[in-house]
Structure 1
């Protein structure tokens, strides 16, 4: 079986992205803003050229999605990308959908001139860590022997 169809979302598909985000949060029992709050945020994000959302499969019933934001940085010539979310519906995992979404996200970032992509993964999520490492992502800065960490503070 080949790669699933991957499409770039437009503002008019914010409702689809919102529902996928809520499904993702529900699956992992993660607190999430209300549907209306997320919908407004996705509309703004999808209208911003410094962000994009990808859907896998048909829009009527997507099998997964990826959310990427870009920002300027001094560390490379183009923007730094952050893969904010990558989600595949549970019964469809291990079928290449996540890999197809990630490959397309990387390609899209490169086409937008991006120079680097960051992904934050929970340390205990060994499956996600293996997935990203399989795709060439590292948690050790090249030339060092220590892990990189992400620190968070809500404002």
Structure 2
């Protein structure tokens, strides 16, 4: 079990968040605009109110992980929906329950904000993340044997 303190980030945490997001993308060979641009964007998103970031403080110089939450109005109810945009635990801090602590805090934070639903995406190959999400009650909605496979599309505008 983790003894990390999970807390909501403030604008003063933007540099740490930018570095964590940069490290996350670098670890998985995804493009990154760099920690400074990410920090600036996080400042903007936090100020807008539709984004929240939770940080796992582990008594180290920088947070051990983060969860980025995006809130949107629900179409089918008056509640909010919450999208888990990112969940990242620093490699040296893995295996200590930080991911679970961040997820539990994220779900509670989302409920307190008025969300009644949380969705997320993860890679098929990220077995550890999939196992965590499923252990927390998330259901895989794609590729069910009794239903059609859903596809996710995107494009630049």
Instruction: Name the TM-score, length of structure 2 as normaliser.
Output: 0.88
Taking a change above 3 Å as real, the CA distance of residues 92 and 72 of structure 1, as seen in their structure-2 partners, is same
- Equivalenced residue count is 153
Listed one character per residue, the Cα deviations across residues 101-147 of structure 1 (whole Å, up to 9, x for unaligned) are: 00000000000000111101112222221111111111138xx9335
Q: Is the 8 A contact 1:14 1:43 kept in 2?
A: yes
Partner SS state of residue 123, structure 1 = coil
Aligned residue number for residue 77 of structure 1 = 78
Taking a change above 3 Å as real, the CA distance of residues 11 and 59 of structure 1, as seen in their structure-2 partners, is farther
Q: Is the 8 A contact 2:15 2:36 kept in 1?
A: no
| Structure 2 unmatched runs, 5+ | none
Question: 1:40 and 2:40 equivalent?
Answer: yes
Q: Is the 8 A contact 1:83 1:117 kept in 2?
A: yes
Instruction: Name the TM-score, length of structure 1 as normaliser.
Output: 0.89
Q: Is the 8 A contact 2:18 2:37 kept in 1?
A: no
Q: RMSD across aligned C-alpha pairs, in angstroms?
A: 1.9
| Structure 1 unmatched runs, 5+ | none
